[in-house]
Amino acid sequence: MQAFYQRADAIIELANSQLSPDSHSGQVGASLLYAAARYSASVASIGFVKGDDLRKEKEEIIDFYAKQYRQMLSDNLEDYAQNFDKYVQLNK
């Protein structure tokens, strides 16, 4: 599990390094979300032989990833709310 969080932290660090006067957090976040979707589509395609087979499973794949994202977002929003003062200090 530690490797999971280390990989996530490395990706967050990379995203933070993209912040600049020309790219604010909303823009970087949109790029990160797109990258996650792009990578997830690639991962989901593994094991399929034909694009048509992947297309047939598209809705189930979307449901799976959407459910995972919703849970992770909910957990992180709850964590942020519980530690708001601490996290706000980090962002100053």
pLDDT digits (tens, 9 = 90+) for 12-63: 999 999 999 999 999 999 999 999 999 999 999 999 999 999 999 999 999 9
- What is the pLDDT confidence band of residue 5, given thresholds at 50, 70 and 90? very high
pLDDT the model gives residue 88 = 84
Residue 73 pLDDT exceeds 90: yes
- What is the pLDDT confidence band of residue 91, given thresholds at 50, 70 and 90? low
Residue 71 pLDDT exceeds 90: yes
What φ, ψ does residue 55 adopt, rounded to 5°? -60, -40
